[in-house]
Amino acid sequence: MNTKPRKVSTSKVTISELMLPSHSNFSGKIHGGYILMLMDQIAFACASKYSGRYCVTASVDTVDFLSPIEIGELVTMKASVNYVGNSSMVVGIRVTAQNIQTGVVKHCNSSYFTMVAKDEEGNNVKVPTLILSDLEEVRRFYNSVKRVALKKERNLHRETFDHSSKEALDGLNLYNVKLEL
């Protein structure tokens, strides 16, 4: 497989889809799970296009639904690889919805999917080095570096934190919880 360095632009993918009544939830808005499915699909396409490999979703960070999406709106998702590790890539996704009648476009979501490149046997494989070509790409890369570092720190804390200690249990009195151990 070719692991020659590649530009961010080689990873870019855009999809648009009209939101139908079959995509809605009980309140008449587009179901968040449907949007997540589309986001996972574009993350896969973006990471696979960049790496030239089959890719799997390792994690999803920061899914904030900023604005509801209505039936009849045109949803557009734009994705690009923002960061690469050895076999992993962070794919940034921006979701907008356009009211076709008024032309008004609203930002609905931005999210980051960590994707891992795999070989035919399911083993992790090295991905190409990322070439950053402008300051916006540098900003996105740097922000991804910070998110990756925070995730590693959070995982380390989770592994070392003794949730059964007296200190931890006493700290729960700050929250709306009652212990019955």
SS3 for the chain is CCCCCEEHHHHCEEEEEECCHHHECCCCEECHHHHHHHHHHHHHHHHHHHHCCEEEEEEEECCCCCCCCECCCEEEEEEEEEEECCCEEEEEEEEEEECCCCCCEEEEEEEEEEEEEECCCCCECCCCCEECCCHHHHHHHHHHHHHHHHHHHHHHHHHHCCCCCHHHHHHHHHCCCCCCC
pLDDT (tens digit per residue) in 3-43? 799 999 999 999 999 999 999 999 999 999 999 999 999 99
Q: Which CATH class is domain 6-131?
A: alpha beta
* pTM more than 0.75: yes
